[in-house]
Amino acid sequence: MNERVSELTYATINELAFMIHAGEVSPVEITEQVLHRIQRLNPKLNAFVTLTAELAIEQAKQAEHDIMHGRYKGPLHGIPIVHKDLYYTKGIRTTASSKILKDFVTDYDSTVVAKLHEAGTILLGKVQTHEFAAGMTTSSPHFGPCRNPWNLELVPGGSSGGSASALASGMAYLATGTDTGGSIRIPAACCGVVGMKPTYGRISRYGIMPMAWSLDHPGPLARSVLDASLCLDVMSGFDAKDVSTVDLPPPGIKLYPEGLKGVRIGLPTNYYYEDLEPQVEAALQSAIHTFRELGAELIEVEFPLIKHVPEATMAIMMAEMYSIHEKWMEKKSDDYGQDVRMFLESSKDIPASIYLQSQRARQLVTDDFLNAMSGIDVLLTPATPNTAPYPDDQAGALRLTTFTLPTNLTGMPSLSMPCGFSPSGLPVNMQLIGRHFEEAEVLGIGYAYELATDWHKRHPQL
């Protein structure tokens, strides 16, 4: 094994892309190195459901050949990635970490998978989700629990826990996720990586096993804000197979070379800073100080209607999820894990009137957010009120969704990124929230913070 290549475990995509394009390192070498790391670490972390090692080597050889012959496709060409096991992959099973779909294989790729393949990425395999994306722990009764690389006794968050665990441990350079109540941003926070939930409609949901149609947001997880931006650009775009998508160019990233002077950052005076663990509060206060040093103006904002978010979001989520699973619940209810089965059983009797009232509340809450954000560029909040909990800490797992639910309801873009560590060495993430389709500003402000700090450069010892 090339020693220089083995040191690239935590290189960013931007760094790797430069080296690959320049011929300093080959996709085959990188892929062999990461497969060796998976072989060593996955028995501890249990992030993978399906490993596609032979396919990865085949794709790496093709990428190397194409690049050597002048057919370089861009910064994702030759980059090894993983997909959350909700994304349909042609000829490769998509289990949703469930017994019901344990042998489910489609004959087509999801739109996102197809786009990332066309960009030249290398597929290492499919990684764990909480069963059918319906939970925060990624502790599958069917495939075993996925573990947090910072502390193997803790959960990696959910439901994109396998994506975050693989990234944080150096078993992939990029990962896809889905976010219905926080399922990209929460595992990003628990594992100390970057998770981007884009605006609803920015990325096609076609070919992704749904949890709740009107709340589901596909998006990338990465180890840096710039890497997340590169992936988001490829994933984005109109898709005739998903009527919710919009015909807009990729968002890109807005750069702030002179610091953040003139940028207005909102600090919520209610909801978001209540009942925080001390280590989360300390990390956020430090982040606020850094933003001030970068020249940003911090402005207090209030959300009068935000108290309605949890109830409205959960009613919509439960009703929509049950409609997806109704036939399986009638015939195969015993094939669900206990927690997901209980959730579905409690969902089947949501009255239509409650669902419709919740959808009306959704618009009121969205208007409330837009009014509060009319004079600012982004909101700054904690990503989660607590750090990664133990598997049996159900209250701690439920609390993880507190600050992520609002932008699933409103459809606004929100970024979860590292901003500190607890005294015991667990990562803490902050959240930046923007107006609809203003991902470039959200990512750019996050990137300016990332350049001024080194939290994203710290990695677990495994």
347 as an active site residue: the answer is no
Q: Which amino acid is at 251?
A: P
Annotated active-site residue in 139, 163, 165, 183? 183
DSSP 173-239: S-EEEEESSSTTHHHHHHHT-EEEE--TTSB--TTB--S-TTT-EEEEEESSHHHHHHHHHHHBS--
- Close Cβ partners of 300 (under 8 Å, ≥ 6 residues apart): 266, 267, 268, 269
Residues 434, 246: contact at Cβ < 8 Å? no
CA distance linking residue 38 with residue 295, whole number of Å? 42
DSSP 3-state of 157: coil
Would you give the end-to-end CA distance of the chain in angstroms? 19
1-462 CATH, one of 3.90.1300.10, 3.40.50.360, 3.30.310.80, 3.30.70.330: 3.90.1300.10
Letter string b/e over residues 356-366, b meaning 16 or more CB atoms within 10 A of that residue's CB: eebeebbeebb
- Close Cβ partners of 39 (under 8 Å, ≥ 6 residues apart): none
Q: Provide the percentage of residues in the chain whose pLDDT is more than 70.
A: 99
Q: Mean per-residue pLDDT for 399-424?
A: 98
In the predicted model, is pLDDT for residue 6 greater than 70? no
Per-residue pLDDT at 1: 41
Per-residue pLDDT at 7: 74
- At 193, the pLDDT band (50, 70, 90 cuts) reads very high
pLDDT, tens digit (0-9, with 9 covering 90-100), for 201-256: 999 999 999 999 999 999 999 999 999 999 999 999 999 999 999 999 999 999 99
183 as an active site residue: the answer is yes
Sign of CA dihedral 3, 188, 89, 128: positive
44 as an active site residue: the answer is no
- Close Cβ partners of 441 (under 8 Å, ≥ 6 residues apart): 254, 377, 378, 434
Q: Mean per-residue pLDDT for 437-452?
A: 98
pLDDT, tens digit (0-9, with 9 covering 90-100), for 52-98: 999 999 999 999 999 999 999 999 999 999 999 999 999 999 999 99
Annotated active-site residue in 159, 160, 414, 416? 159
Domain residue limits, the chain: 1-462
In the predicted model, is pLDDT for residue 142 greater than 50? yes
Q: Mean per-residue pLDDT for 155-162?
A: 98
Please provide residue 84's backbone torsions phi and psi, each rounded to the nearest 5 degrees.
Answer: -60, 140
The residues that bridge with 417 in the sheet, in sequence order, are 430
In the predicted model, is pLDDT for residue 354 greater than 60? yes
pLDDT, tens digit (0-9, with 9 covering 90-100), for 261-296: 999 999 999 999 999 999 999 999 999 999 999 999
